[in-house]
Each structure stands twice: as structure tokens, then as C-alpha cells.
Amino acid sequence: MKILAVSDMVIDRFYSQQTAKYLGNIDLILGCGDLPYEYLEFLVTSANVPVLYIPGNHDPVYNEKNASSLAEGCENMDLKVGQIKGLNIAGVGGSIRYKPDRPNQYTQRQMYSRLIPFAPRLIWHLATHGGVLDIIIAHSPPFGIHDDTDPAHIGMSAFRNLIQTFKPRYFLHGHTLAYKNNIISPVTRLGNTTIINVYPYRLIEV
């Protein structure tokens, strides 16, 4: 399966009349946050494949009754898990809190609080759908992996525990750009999990 993962930046060639040509062999699109929802809507219409996404720290609070807070035709996977085209995929949105009263920003403790009630649902899904978690999509990286150099772009500690507990094949995220400054590689292994910074996009074969 060929997957296009996108985050943080609109790619012009994916947002034009030639989009179908570029995305003709893509089976699935995953959004890792901080993208205009009209861009995701354009992708789902042009590529005619499922688009799953999670919110980033610049995205609005999700409200299913408010059209401007969601990407029509796409699936918001924040704290959800599902099987799509044979792959078990889970999502966790948001970033570290660096400004007060901003949506989709959490302290390290708050992210643990979000994941604790999500874990039983994830366990149940995997028990009934093959037992293997293929992909987690997130906006932020795990703490200490692909962190950037400023307080707004530190990863989440809870994500390391999530990876160590559920051992996904892939953990995809955006949000940070440390690899562009030659600080770190955009691809890192943690146990059996391949962690990939997809900012601004990445083509992945699973």
C-alpha cells in the first residue's frame, strides 16, 4: 500500500489541477496536523482515497456540528482507532502547551490524561482486528525523538509510553523541523517502531 503523509505545509503540486496525476497511485492519505482543512478536502476529492487526519496546535477545536472545525469527507482520528484498507490506524492530535488557553495544546500530564481512557479502546480494537497496530498518526513527536530546539516544539513523553506499550509498526508526526537543521534524522527507530517526521510530506510504502 502506498501512503501519502502530509503535515504543516501546503504542497503546491498537490493543490492544483495536476493533483490527480501526482496522486494517481496513492492508496491512502494521512494528515499529521496544521494543514488547512480545505486542503485536506481538496486531496480527498482529487485523489478519491480515504483521508485520515488529526488536529495540530494551529487547528480549531473539533465540533462535529461546526463545519469550519472539520475537514468534510475526511476522518478525524484524534483519540480514535480503526481498520482502513486492512491497516489498524490510531491517531492522537495536539502538541505541548506553550501558550495558555489555546486549542489542541496540552501539558505532559494532560496528554497522559488523554491517553489513559483511550488505551482500553485501543486494546479492544486490536484484540478484535488482528492484534497488530500498524500506524499511529500524531502531530508532535515522542519526547526526545525529533524534538526541535525551542519550547513549543518539544515532544510528548506519553507518546514514548504509547509506542513501548502498543509497538506500532510506524509512528508518523509533523510539527518539528530539527532534521532540516541537520540536528537529527527524520527517521528514527524506537524498539520495533519506525518513527518518521513527515513534515511537509512523505511517501511511504507499507
Domain boundaries, the chain: 2-205
What cell does 109 get? 500530564
Q: What is the mean pLDDT of residues 6-16?
A: 92
| Range among 24-28, 57-61, 85-89 rated most confident | 85-89
Return the higher-pLDDT residue of 184 and 16: 16
Q: What is the mean pLDDT of the chain?
A: 93
What is the per-residue pLDDT across 135-167, written as a single tens digit (0 to 9) for each? 999 999 999 999 988 899 999 999 999 999 999
Q: Under a CB-based contact definition with an 8 Å cutoff, are residues 116 and 127 in contact?
A: no
The H or E element that residue 43 is part of is: helix 37-47
Residue type, 131: G
What is the per-residue pLDDT across 165-189, written as a single tens digit (0 to 9) for each? 999 999 999 999 866 666 678 899 9
Q: What is the pLDDT of residue 101?
A: 84
Crossing angle between the packed helical segments 157-166 and 108-128, to the nearest 10 degrees: 20
Q: What is the pLDDT of residue 116?
A: 97
CATH code of the region 2-205: 3.60.21.10
Q: What is the mean pLDDT of residues 30-44?
A: 96
User: pTM of the predicted model, to two decimals?
Assistant: 0.94
What cell does 91 get? 491517531
Residues 106, 110, 113, 119, CA torsion sign:
positive
